[in-house]
A = this chain, B = another copy of it.
């Protein structure tokens, strides 16, 4: 028997450039089924559920939904709430009150865990209910998945930012340090390498949170590249830490400010600025610059990967199909089936929830300061097509004055 009732879709955690594709995929697919009486959206993720902030997506036009699909960031808005058991019970009770029979939550591993707990309450209460987690995260750190929607577009931004920064650094040489998001997983920082074309294109060094960061080794590495190329472009993850696990920004800050809770106050541009000053002082390089890519990298409208966009749409659609055709619960996961092709499966929620994954050792070089070809082969299909850049190769004119 078909389960008749309402669908609720929500978005949680940090936005991505393609998270609305998943929303629109789930909504449009759900609207096709006669047993779906309404499609609701929760405003501000789980926070909107417990506060009963719902909108009726059955009354959105298809055109506006398609416009939403190509709009970055979470159209239903998001939340940083991480529900505990009690919070999840409140979610379940509100869903029950509105006779929600299908719940689709787009988010990372925390969101998967919320879906898991809410679903457990439904099972305990014998309330007929289907709950699906739809994956998204620019960090690409979800278990089971080959990769996650949102990563490809953020990776495209980072790759292109380094193409531009490298060309800039070529024309006015010095040391350039770009700080990329990713506190524990280095996939996004590693993407700095993806648009390289010529052998001397930067970034020349890539530092990931998966490896211990040593300031001494960093200086030696930068000096070696600078000696060779007369310039050096570096990608560092915001999450790099020393042997003791202390964030590098903290070890470099002369007077470490702590807030009321004893947390380090490491503001946005701090790590990049501190590393740049450190290189300037220690190596005596005149032109040292840094940028912190910050929020630009996860919602820049012009850096959307077509592959990422399509897949984000498909995981949303598959969520509706798994729940409504198959009466199943779980997390939609992406599996690579060729070079390049993927398929979608439904994975038990507890296999995706809570834990995260990092860059596997075969993606990082032995010195821990760059990525391997294995990483590039893995990640290149995910960013879609990139514009091609070129360098001049005209011959030098023999000197007649300053011989």
A355–B76 alpha-carbon span in the complex (Å): 49
* Residues of chain A at interface, number, CB under 8 A: 83
Q: Find out whether the CB atom of B392 lies under 8 angstroms from the CB atom of A68.
A: yes
Judge whether A125 is part of the interface by a CB distance below 8 angstroms: no
How many copies make up the complex?
2
A165–B377 alpha-carbon span in the complex (Å): 31
Contact A298/B97 with A60-B394, A267-B276, A268-B269 known, Cβ cut-off 8 Å: no
Judge whether A291 is part of the interface by a CB distance below 8 angstroms: yes
A78-B172, A267-B277 given; 11 more Cβ-contact pairs under 8 Å? A53-B396, A55-B395, A77-B173, A97-B400, A98-B397, A160-B300, A160-B302, A161-B296, A267-B269, A291-B294, A302-B303
Q: Which A residues between 269 and 309 are near B, CB-CB below 8 angstroms?
A: 269-270, 272-273, 276-277, 289-296, 298-303
What chain B residues lie within 8 Å of A164 (beta carbons)?
17, 72-73, 295-296, 298-301
- Give the Cβ gap from A181 to chain B, nearest Cβ, in Å: 11
A98 CB contact (under 8 Å) in B17, B270, B400: B400
Judge whether A342 is part of the interface by a CB distance below 8 angstroms: no
Contact A292/B295 with A55-B395, A163-B301 known, Cβ cut-off 8 Å: no
Q: Which A residues between 21 and 78 are near B, CB-CB below 8 angstroms?
A: 40-41, 51-57, 59-60, 64, 67-68, 70-78
Judge whether A135 is part of the interface by a CB distance below 8 angstroms: no
A273–B294 alpha-carbon span in the complex (Å): 12
Judge whether A229 is part of the interface by a CB distance below 8 angstroms: no
Judge whether A203 is part of the interface by a CB distance below 8 angstroms: no
- Give the Cβ gap from A354 to chain B, nearest Cβ, in Å: 22
Contact A51/B303 with A71-B389, A394-B57 known, Cβ cut-off 8 Å: no
